[in-house]
């Protein structure tokens, strides 16, 4: 679960979050895990995201799953934020 807050209504993208950690994020790599040695899949709201994961916009209650290796049988499409 990730919470972002900004002084203005500027869009924030997943690449900015990873840049804070100085971790590579692109279509082929997450950190040191890269194709073809490692399977890297990205899901947004339970659906596989094809394309550049760095461009994914962070927004309220968006479920983003980065799966390295064999994906689980079900990827969450949402989370319960009632107590967040």
> Region 54-67: what's the mean pLDDT?
89
Instruction: Give the global pTM.
Output: 0.82
Determine phi and psi for 54, rounding to 5 degrees.
-65, -20
Q: How confident is the model at residue 71 (pLDDT cuts 50, 70, 90)?
A: confident
pLDDT in tens, 2-60: 667 777 778 889 999 899 999 999 888 999 999 889 989 999 999 998 888 989 999 88
Decide if 31 contacts 6 (C-beta within 8 A): no
Q: Would you state the pLDDT for residue 10?
A: 82
- Angle (nearest 5°) at CA 16 between 70 and 64: 35
Decide if 24 contacts 18 (C-beta within 8 A): yes
Q: Would you state the pLDDT for residue 43?
A: 92
Q: Is 14 helix (H, G, I), strand (E, B) or coil?
A: helix
């Amino acid at each position: 679960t990730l919470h972002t807050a900004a002084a203005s209504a500027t869009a924030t993208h997943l690449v900015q979050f990873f840049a804070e950690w100085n971790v590579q994020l692109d279509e082929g790599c997450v950190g040191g895990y890269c194709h073809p040695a490692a399977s890297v899949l990205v899901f947004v709201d339970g659906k596989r995201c094809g394309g550049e994961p760095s461009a994914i916009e962070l927004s309220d209650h968006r479920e983003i799953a980065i799966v390295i290796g064999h994906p689980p049988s079900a990827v969450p499409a949402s989370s319960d934020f009632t107590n967040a």
